Structure 1
Amino acid sequence: MTTYFCMRHGVTDWNRESRIQGTEDISLSEEGREMVRKWAGTLADGGLECILTSSLGRAKETAAIINEKLGLPIHEDTRLGEQDWGEWTGLTKEDLKQIRKQVKQQEYKGFDFCPPKGESRNDVLMRTCDALIDFSEEHPDKSVLVVTHNGVLKCLAYALTGLEFMPNDPDPLEAYRLHRIECLENELAPGQFNMEL
């Protein structure tokens, strides 16, 4: 069984501005780098054996800072990148309020939510599951730190807890926590969500 400890990258300036990053390659802010340095201390005694990261800069930077302390092999997979938000990339929460009707129509599609010229949550879920299952086949029985994105983690958590990703569903995740997911015989299963970092 491969055990994944999944986390979101550190904070960026766009996070603080409530701006949709999607596939834009945004760097960590200084605040983000500082929070990641603290996480590295917590993760140092966790028995981790390697790191798997999204290819986007904010995730790779998070992995690199953590690895200054852990000194583990790092692997990258583009399939762990954030959801492509298409025409809504770069918009803020305030901007989304201006197109509330469009946004609401998408939200009620659950996993079929797809911004214009973007990617659906279902597509994100499929590629993420493929990435984790493939990595598990290549690295069986490993304890792996996964550095990815909020949208990716939400797709996994909603699916693994049987939720439809509808607006009234309870959000299974808390911000900036560690989430354990297990992979056995090409199947992903929830371990424990929202562990302290």
Structure 2
Amino acid sequence: MSDISQEAKPGRAELPSARRWEVLGRRPLYESKWVNLALVKVAPPGREPYEHHVTEVPDAVGVVLCNAAHQVLLLHRHRFITDTAGYEIPAGGIDDSESVEQAAAREVLEEVGWTVRDAAPMFSCNVSDGVSDQRFHFVLAQADRYAGPPVDEHESTSRVWVDPADVEKLIKDGEVPGALSTVALLYALHFQHV
């Protein structure tokens, strides 16, 4: 990776350090346990300060759940906010007293009715870092046993085990509309976790 003003050279280039934006203050507009909206006064390098809208959302977890046949469990559901329907991985918030792995196990049990084993973090990333501070933690887990109907059964129309090749097709065909699930599944497929 090189600066576009310079000719590209073979090999890995040193990355320049990012120029930091100075945060001058924060003015809350709305606050709840689920989401906060604030105006944050910032000064970009070489620019006049201005107020930028920031959505503050607690961290969350997303789980790529696999079975012994190397299939992935996906939920099919409607999202009223975007008025879209499609496939997703189990996901949700992380309680204050939970580790990422504990939150993953709880969310899988609540949303799909399975217990998990071998839950291990894959990676973490910011969801929409231009407007939100939310960070998602992605976990790979193995299905252990079916414990019964999920407590949060209302959150999905159906739950299905999907072969990896079919996961790729669902993504390609736009049947996985959410970036959270798309990123987690592509990561798991690329690094051969499924």
TM-score, structure 1 normalization:
0.28
* Higher RCO structure (Cα 8 Å, ≥6 apart): 1
Greater share of residues in helix = 1
Question: If you compute each CA radius of gyration, which structure gives the higher value, 1 or 2?
Answer: 2
TM-score, structure 2 normalization:
0.28
Greater share of residues in strand = 2
